[in-house]
Amino acid sequence: MSGKGAPAIVMEAVHKWFGEFHVLKGIDLEVAEQQKVVICGPSGSGKSTLIRCINALEDYQQGRIVVDGIEVTKDVKNVEAIRREVGMVFQQFNLFPHLTVLENLILAPMHVRHMPRKEAEELAMQLLERVKIPEQAHKYPGQLSGGQQQRVAIARALCMKPKIMLFDEPTSALDPEMIKEVLDVMVELAEAGMTMVVVTHEMGFAKSVADYIVFMDEGEIVEIAPPSTFFTSPKSERTRLFLSQILHH
């Protein structure tokens, strides 16, 4: 896969608490430009919390996160700068139901990037081509299937021309027959050289795309390994247990 470039995301000893509850217990992670990282782990292990810290949807209490050279702080300017560079795709799509697909796509480019409407619409149509649903541009999200909605969500994030894309279980809410159409789009995106952090249990995707896989449990990173060794010879017992559970499903 791609060689190691400049660091896109750096997390150093990140700790986070929800009240008394210690969710992230000293996370160290580095993602280089163009690298693809898959994060997996049992439910409640803090995967979502971790990637939501990267674009400041969650704050953290200790440690340091630097994204694209900008430190993630509570400062509004920093947060806005980071969110312009980082796209995010959610498990529940979170499309804006009162706007058409096209309007969903052009909203942020027009109002955050101050792109003229026409230019934004052209860009949006290009991206809808890329996710293979240009014919749905004028429908409302509620009129699309789950797989189509998730592809719109990916296109919406790409419309901001992000340098980094975060995916939080993008296929978990989908019916099995729709998972592939979304994964295909993600694979294509990976091949085009996007820096990606993906929380997923789609191990096929992880095997073929990830530069390395991060296994989390109880707020800690238990193991980081490239797919070649992660699946065949995991070092930790917890990883082995987890793999045996999900691979036999």
Ligand X SMILES: Nc1ncnc2c1ncn2[C@@H]1O[C@H](COP(=O)(O)OP(=O)(O)OP(=O)(O)O)[C@@H](O)[C@H]1O
What residues make contact with another protein under the rule CB under 8 A? 55, 57, 80, 83-84, 86-88, 90, 92, 94-98, 100, 102-103, 107-108, 111-112, 138-140, 142-143, 153, 156-157, 160
When the beta carbons of 172 and 236 are compared against Mg ion, the nearer one is 172
Q: Closer CB to another protein, residue 174 or residue 225?
A: 174
Going by C-alpha positions, the residue among 229, 249, 211 that lies closest to residue 39 is 211
Residues within window 9-48 making contact with Mg ion, judged by CB under 5 A: 48
23 contacts ligand X (rule: CB under 6 A): yes
Instruction: Report the C-alpha gap between 88 and 125 in whole angstroms.
Output: 19
Q: Does 49 bind ligand X (CB under 6 A)?
A: yes
Would you count residue 45 as binding ligand X (CB under 6 A)? Answer: yes
What DSSP string describes 31-96? EETT-EEEEE-STTSSHHHHHHHHTTSS--SEEEEEETTEE--S-HHHHHHHHHHEEEE-TT----
Fill in the amino acid letter for 56.
A
* Residue 47 near ligand X by CB under 6 A: yes
Among 5, 28, 44, 226, binds ligand X (CB under 6 A): 44
Specify the residue, 18 or 96, whose C-beta has the smaller distance to ligand X.
Answer: 18
Residue bearing tokens 């052009």 = 106
- Burial class of residue 40, CB neighbours in 10 A (0-12, 13-18, 19+): buried
Residue 100 interacting partner from Mg ion, another protein, ligand X, none (CB closer than 5 to 8 Å by kind): another protein
Q: With binding defined as CB under 6 A, does residue 46 bind ligand X?
A: yes
How many Å apart are CA 166 and CA 39, to the nearest integer?
A: 11
Counting contacts by CB under 6 A, is residue 18 touching ligand X? yes
Pull the structure tokens for residue 49. Answer: 């919390």
Question: Residue type for 172, please?
Answer: S
Q: By C-alpha distance, which of 184, 208, 185, 210 is closest to 198?
A: 210
Q: Which is nearer to another protein, 3 or 142 (CB)?
A: 142
Min separation Cβ 238 and another protein, Å: 30
The contact mask relative to Mg ion for 45-64 (x = CB under 5 A, - = no) is ---x----------------
User: Quick one: CA dihedral 239, 245, 248, 249, positive or negative?
Assistant: negative
Residue 32 touches which member of Mg ion, ligand X, another protein, none, C-beta under 5-8 Å by kind: none
Q: How many residues bind Mg ion (CB under 5 A)?
A: 1
